Each structure stands twice: as structure tokens, then as C-alpha cells.
A and B are shown apart, each in its own frame.
Chain A
Amino acid sequence: MTRHLAFRAVLPLLVAVSFLAGCSSSQPASETTAQTAPAATASQAQTGQSEALGTGDAVELAADYQRQCGSEANPSLDCEALHNLLIGEVTVALQEIERSRDQRGTQEALAALDLVDEPEIVAAACRVLLQFPGTPGIAEKVLPLMLKSRYAEVQRMSANLLSRIEGSELAQVGSIWFQNHGRLPNDTPYTEYPDFPAHYAKLGFPKYPGAQWFSPADSDRSVGWSTKDSVANVSRWFSDTLRSPALTGAQWAAERQAAATPIVDQSKMARMQQLMERAVKGDQAAVAEAQKLSEEFDKQGKAWERSFENSVDKLLTNQSLGLPEAQYIVAQRKDGRVSRLVFVYPLPAIKQTVIQLVWDLTDYPAAWGPAPETNQ
């Protein structure tokens, strides 16, 4: 009897407490208590997973925006605000479509690619399509975006998507963009693709007549151009202009083999071996000398690594593997390095010849990204 009484006394208190705590179906708890958090409001709890998240009355917002702001030549503050919110609504909706893995969403994603001046939407649409790269019509839409968009993130996502389209010749163009742009800054979706580096003119590369800027061949140490002329004609022109032979891939590889491996002083290696043998027998003087020599090797190794990181070889190592018809024209050598290089290769998928003008970051500043390390 007493237990019943106690329950009756406590019941109204529990009701009151749950009301004070938020009128929700479950009690909010600390963020560290995953089991009980979060407390959805009653109406949200009813809709459960069947309704998409946080969409609110976005459809109404879209309709009002179209009605109120569609024809405004100079948008009011409210229209600007609505526009900004609509971008957010569509972006979040595309993120949810992406996570739902619902293939029907490719329809909206493809349509979203038309909003070329809304990088956040285009990037979100690309993420949806990345799950279904076989969707017809992707390549035609993303190729122009990758080549011409003024936003770095749009180019990046377009290249990513293009490189994933199996069986498409254009996939190679996307892969080339990706290989070259590892250090491209993209702080926000609205970060613009960088202009030509300020020091580009001072690099003194000859300008191939009629060539057009080609972003996939840009990198932290190169500027890309393209032309409809053949590889043979282009490489001959550069070879004549720079008075330097055009090397084939095999010739270039043979020349660069030495640069691609650290130089090891054989006499020091032999000395190290002797010291190690003595050290094993307990010779402390040998241990000290071996340690000193080891530090010297380490220092040399790091210097070589820095030099390689800054070199034209670093950029071309992976890329040139898939381009057997490429030609290499050395424009400048310095201290055993190739300081400036003209790299010419065909891209049959877009019927263009690419001219990649590359420089060593030890000798010249980077086009973008962090300042180059110097070989000190």
C-alpha cells in the first residue's frame, strides 16, 4: 500500500519534470551520453526517418523566391538573403541525397551541374554523381566545368568525377588534373582558381602561337596550355626556339635516372662497413665515428629528398607513365638540375596537344601553395 502511495506521489512530479525539461518525448541528456541524446521534438519524432532532414519549408521558400525575386534586376536585401538560403537548402538536400545512396537522385544532381556559378551546389552534385559515375550525360557536363570554372572546388570535383567514368577516354583528362593539383588550396567552396603566378612572365618560357590555357596541366610548378597542332609540330617548334633537343620518354628516363636516385659515396659506405665490424667487437671509437657518419648520411638523404620534392621529376614521375608519346624539351639546366622544362603530350580524348611548362621549385617560386623548400 505504501509503495502505491509513493508511486502516486511521484507520478505528477515526473510529469512536471519532463515538461520543464523540454516537452519532448525523451529527456535531453549530456552530449556525452549517446544512448539518450538527442531529444527530438514531438513532431519530429513522429516523422522519424521517413522524412528528409531539416528541409523545413524549403519548397515554399523556393516558390517565394521565384515569385518575389525572379525578375529583380537589383535584388533587395531580402531577396539576396533568400537566394543565399536557397543555395544552402539545395546543398543540404544534395548532401542528403548523396548519403541516401538513392540512384534516382542523379536526376537532380545532373540538373544541379547547370548552376555553374554556384560552386557549393555543383560540388555537392558531383558528390552524388560520384556514387553513380556510369550515369549517362556526366562527361559532357563536367568537362567544361573542369576546364573553365573559376572555382577551384568545382574544377576539383569535376576532375574527380571525370576520372571515375569507366571506359571513357575523358577519364584520363580528369586523372591528369588530379595528379597535378594535389597542392591547390581550396579553403572554401568559393575559393577562386588561382590566376597565372605573378612571376610567370619572368620564367621566360616561349609562348606557343595560338595555344590556350589548359588548367589540367597547371600545378604548383607548371602552367598548362593546349593546341590542336600535333605533338611533333609543337615539340619541333619548342626545340628550335629553345635550341634544345626534343627527348622521347626513353631518352628522358635514361637522363633522369641518375637524378631519381640518391648519390651514395661508395668510399664512405665502405668506411661505414669497416666501422660497423669494429663496433660489433666493442670498439667505442668506431661506434662514435659510425654514428657521426650515419648522421652525415641522414643529412645527405634529407637534402636529396628536399631537392627531389622541388624537382620537375617529382611532377612528371607518375604522369609520364601513361603518356608514351610525350616529348621533353629542357629549357634550362642549373647545378645538375633541370630548372625549366617543356613537356608536350597528346590527349586524343579531346583532340588536343598539351604543353606543360614546368619549373624546379628550388630555382623559382611555386605557382601556389606553401613556399618552396630550399635546398640549404
Chain B
Amino acid sequence: MKRVALSVALLLVWLAPRLESTAVRCTSTNPCKQPPCEFFYELKVAKAMVRVLSMPAPRGGEDLRAMNAAIRKQLRKYTKCPANYFYQPPPNFWVGSSSSCDIGYPGGAKSLEDVLAATNSCAEPVRAKFAQAEQERLFCLSNKDLKGPLPIGEFKLQQKMAYQAAVESMEVALGRFLASCAPSATTSRRVAEAGLQALKKAAYKERMAWAERLVKEVAQ
């Protein structure tokens, strides 16, 4: 009986570190395993925000927050990530208002490594959020010399660049994965076809006319 108790105790000691929260690499190529839905969720939100910030419509922080919420709402509706008990959304970093524009870490962490070690999430979006915060920090520092509020155009540009840093961070990881683990194109082709059809039909007649006119112009 003592030996059983000892075995259990040893097992618990062995398992203890594995029960801790820790970020996992979701684009591992060894072995090739499909990255979880949560990874693509974050990538698509960031991509969508880059596009939103490139359009003339958003006129301030409120508009952007509303659009971000709408995007996440719609994406949750359609992405339908299978229920799981592990992957949590990556935590947000922030940039402080002090003169040094320090990056704030969630949950009392002191570094990115601390956050990765304490988060049940894909590591790639966590790193992407950190890349975004780093970009925001650079802008924060460069904005210090400004007198008065940041013009909306400049604000949008900076936000766009910050989201783009997040996109690039995740796309580098995804690119490495896809290069090693070539996926089948069957579903992708179906998605591309359906998406293109919808986009073309929805108020794109003018743009198509533009393209056709150009083709004619060049042909002449």
C-alpha cells in the first residue's frame, strides 16, 4: 500500500508542471498538425482590422472599437471553433502613458516569457499581440513631442501599422507551417470560389467596369 501511495505521489510530482497554464506552439511542423481554429480566429480579426483602418469610414477610437466588436461577433458566429477546454483568447498587452511608454503585461507578469508561461493559448497570437504592443510603444514615444491630440489620419495609420505587425507575426508562423505541411486545396478552393462570388456580386459592378475599361484602354 505504501508503494502505491508512493507511486501516486511520484506521478503527481511528474504531472504537476504539465497542469500549469502554458502557451503552446500551434503551427508546429513536427509533426504536421492542423493549427487550431483559435489561431485563425485571431489572424482573421487582425487582418480585418488592418483593412478597417485602411478605409476612410472610421473616424475615431469609438468607431474602431465598435467595428472590432462587430467583427469579433460575426467571426464567432461563422468560425464556430469546436468547444475545447484549453485554448483561451490571448491576453492583451497595453502601452502605458508614462514618458517611457512602457508595455504593460497582463496578470502581473513582467515579461513576454512570463505571459507565455502563464497562458492557455496558442503562443503565436500572444507573440503577435506583443509585436502589436511593441509597435504601439514606438509610436507612443514618437508622439511624445506632439502638441495637441494626434490627428485622426495619423492615429489610424499608427493603429494600422500596429495591427499589421500582429498579422505579420502570425503569418510568418503560418507560412513556415504551410511550407512544411502542404495542405489540400479542396476546401480552400470552395471557400475562395464562394467568397469571390459574394464579393463580386455585392456592389462591385462599378469596380468591375473600372477593370474592364482599363483592359480596353491598355489594349488600345
Give A contacts to B, CB under 8 Å: 2, 5-6, 9-10, 13, 17, 19-24, 27-32, 34-35, 37-45, 47-66, 69-72, 77-78, 80-97, 99-102, 104-105, 107-108, 111-112, 114-118, 120-121, 140-141, 143-144, 147-148, 187-190, 350
**9 interchain pairs, CB-CB under 8 A:** A9-B4, A20-B19, A30-B22, A52-B187, A52-B191, A57-B80, A105-B185, A108-B192, A115-B196
Additional A-B contact list (15), CB under 8 Å, known A10-B8, A20-B19, A121-B199: A6-B4, A22-B86, A29-B22, A30-B24, A34-B29, A40-B34, A51-B184, A61-B78, A62-B198, A66-B198, A87-B48, A90-B195, A95-B178, A114-B211, A115-B200
**A190, closest chain B residue (CB):** B54
Segment among B94-102, B103-111, B141-149, B212-220 that sits at the interface with chain A: B212-220
B contact residues, range: 35 or more
Contacts of B186 in A (CB 8 A): 50-52
* C-alpha gap A105/B210 in the complex (Å): 25
**B213, closest chain A residue (CB):** A144
A24 touches B43 (CB 8 A): no
* C-alpha gap A27/B24 in the complex (Å): 10
B33-73 with Cβ < 8 A to chain A? 33-37, 39-41, 43-44, 47-48, 50-52, 54, 57, 66-67, 70-71, 73
Q: Is the interface of B mostly helix, strand, loop or mixed?
A: helix
Contacts known (A41-B36, A114-B200, A118-B199); A190 close to B50, Cβ less than 8 A = yes
**A113, closest chain B residue (CB):** B211
Shortest Cβ distance from residue B100 to the other chain A in the assembled complex, whole angstroms: 25
Contacts known (A10-B7, A144-B214); A97 close to B47, Cβ less than 8 A = no
A88 touches B85 (CB 8 A): no
Give B contacts to A, CB under 8 Å: 3-4, 7-8, 11, 15, 18-19, 22-37, 39-41, 43-44, 47-48, 50-52, 54, 57, 66-67, 70-71, 73-75, 78-87, 116, 120, 122-123, 160-161, 164, 174-175, 178-179, 181-204, 207-208, 210-211, 214-215, 217-218
Shortest Cβ distance from residue B53 to the other chain A in the assembled complex, whole angstroms: 8
Question: Which 5 pairs of residues, A with B, have the shortest CB-CB distance?
Answer: A54-B40, A22-B86, A190-B54, A52-B187, A144-B214
Shortest Cβ distance from residue B84 to the other chain A in the assembled complex, whole angstroms: 5
* C-alpha gap A97/B175 in the complex (Å): 12
Shortest Cβ distance from residue B47 to the other chain A in the assembled complex, whole angstroms: 4
Contacts of B85 in A (CB 8 A): 19-20, 22-23
B188 touches A100 (CB 8 A): yes
Contacts of B4 in A (CB 8 A): 2, 5-6, 9
* C-alpha gap A188/B179 in the complex (Å): 22
B218 touches A144 (CB 8 A): yes
Contacts known (A97-B188, A190-B54); A44 close to B34, Cβ less than 8 A = yes
